[in-house]
């Protein structure tokens, strides 16, 4: 993975010409938890960095109208008053490829968010075919990438249902919090519901594992008990944990970069490489 020297590239949308590895069929991974503020976006950006370092081409699909992943890569949000957006291409089936923006990292592109995505749940319901529509949209992009990471918003709603239906696997982000286990349960319930609705087998949407974000140590006895429960979850393996690291993560984000590009020798970058390896997405950490 090399860093480009150019500044923000939001003004040069459109996919780069295919290079080596034509005919890639991306694995679509839902980065999810309907609990807010647990580190989904931070993990998505930095897992993308770890995968790109390993030679993979990665698309980050910013599924959240907040647009934090888009902004973190210094890409402009799309504007429905100026043209098509992720919300419009999902619903009307038109080509999403012109919306894709390059980032400052060669092998990471972003499908930006837009504020009109707050209307997606109702628009998707109106179509009567919601569960097919993200899969259709992302199906137009998978040939160009090895991975599509879905940075999902914290909600169980029609839009996250449709995104889940498009995913081949999921990673659940959690934080050390009283309600963490309940949140994981609800997330799994959403996956089960979607698989049932689509008559798909359980192994068609494996949870690769969970990542505990924003870990602060030492922790009090209550947090320590929650932490232990999460680490020993009976069904979901632990892929890794990210300690609170304001400087590495925030400085990298300020530059529009994953920590892998900004400070590759930091232990923070190493945590995300380990997560990629533990999830089986790369061969070695």
Ligand X SMILES: Nc1ncnc2c1ncn2[C@@H]1O[C@H](COP(=O)(O)OP(=O)(O)OP(=O)(O)O)[C@@H](O)[C@H]1O
DSSP string, 242-267: EE--HHHHHHHHHTT--HHHH-TTSH
Give the pair of three-digit tokens for residue 167: 């995913």
Which of Mg ion, ligand X, none lies near 55, with the C-beta cut-off 5 to 8 A by kind?
A: none
Residue 216, interface with ligand X (CB under 6 A)? no
Choose which of 213, 240, 256, 258 interacts with ligand X (CB under 6 A). 213
Residue 42, interface with ligand X (CB under 6 A)? yes
Which lies closer to ligand X via its Cβ, residue 13 or residue 114?
Answer: 114
Binding mask 227-256 for ligand X (x = CB under 6 A): ---------------x-xxx--x-------
Give the pair of three-digit tokens for residue 253: 């984000």
DSSP designation for 238: E
Residue 181 falls in which region: left (phi positive, over 0), alpha (psi -120 to 50) or beta? alpha
Q: How many CA atoms lie within 13 A of 24 on its CB side?
A: 20
Sheet of 108-111, strands arranged across: 101-102, 108-111, 58-62, 147-151, 27-32, 169-175, 207-215, 238-243
Residue 86, interface with Mg ion (CB under 5 A)? no
- State the minimum distance, in angstroms, from the CB of residue 161 to ligand X: 17
Which lies closer to Mg ion via its Cβ, residue 1 or residue 210?
Answer: 210
Site for ligand X in 107-126 (CB under 6 A): none
Give the 3-state secondary structure of residue 118: helix
Residue 36, interface with ligand X (CB under 6 A)? yes
CA–CA dist 102, 10 (Å, integer): 7
- State the minimum distance, in angstroms, from the CB of residue 70 to ligand X: 12
Choose which of 10, 38, 63, 78 interacts with ligand X (CB under 6 A). 38
Give the pair of three-digit tokens for residue 91: 């619903």
Residue 273, interface with Mg ion (CB under 5 A)? no
Which residue, chain included where needed, has tokens 């890409």? 75
CA–CA dist 189, 79 (Å, integer): 33
Residue 263, interface with ligand X (CB under 6 A)? no
Residue numbers of the site for Mg ion (CB under 5 A)? Answer: 40-41, 68
Residues that bind ligand X (CB under 6 A): 36-42, 64, 68, 153-154, 173, 213-214, 242, 244-246, 249
């Amino acid at each position: 993975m090399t860093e480009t020297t150019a500044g923000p590239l939001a003004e040069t949308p459109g996919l780069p010409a295919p290079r080596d590895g034509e005919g890639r069929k991306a694995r679509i991974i839902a980065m999810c938890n309907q609990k807010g503020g647990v580190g989904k976006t931070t993990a998505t950006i930095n897992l993308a960095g770890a995968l790109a370092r390993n030679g993979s081409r990665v698309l980050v699909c910013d599924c959240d109208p907040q647009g934090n992943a888009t902004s973190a890569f210094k890409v402009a949000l799309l504007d429905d008053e100026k043209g098509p957006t992720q919300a419009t291409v999902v619903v009307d089936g038109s080509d999403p490829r012109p919306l894709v923006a390059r980032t400052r990292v060669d092998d990471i592109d972003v499908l930006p968010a837009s504020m009109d995505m707050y209307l997606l749940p109702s628009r998707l319901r109106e179509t009567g075919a919601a569960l097919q529509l993200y899969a259709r949209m992302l199906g137009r992009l998978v040939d160009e990438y090895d991975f599509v990471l879905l940075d999902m918003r914290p909600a169980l709603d029609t839009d996250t249902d449709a995104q889940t239906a498009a995913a081949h696997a999921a990673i659940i982000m959690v934080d050390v919090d009283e309600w963490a286990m309940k949140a994981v349960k609800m997330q799994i319930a959403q996956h089960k519901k979607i698989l049932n609705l689509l008559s798909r087998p359980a192994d068609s949407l494996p949870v690769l594992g969970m990542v505990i974000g924003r870990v602060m140590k030492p922790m009090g006895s209550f947090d320590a008990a929650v932490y232990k429960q999460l680490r020993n979850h009976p069904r979901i393996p632990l892929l890794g944990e990210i300690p609170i690291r304001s400087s590495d993560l925030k400085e990298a984000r300020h530059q529009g970069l994953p920590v892998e590009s900004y400070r590759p020798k930091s232990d923070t970058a190493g945590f995300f490489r380990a997560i990629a390896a533990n999830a089986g997405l790369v061969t070695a950490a």
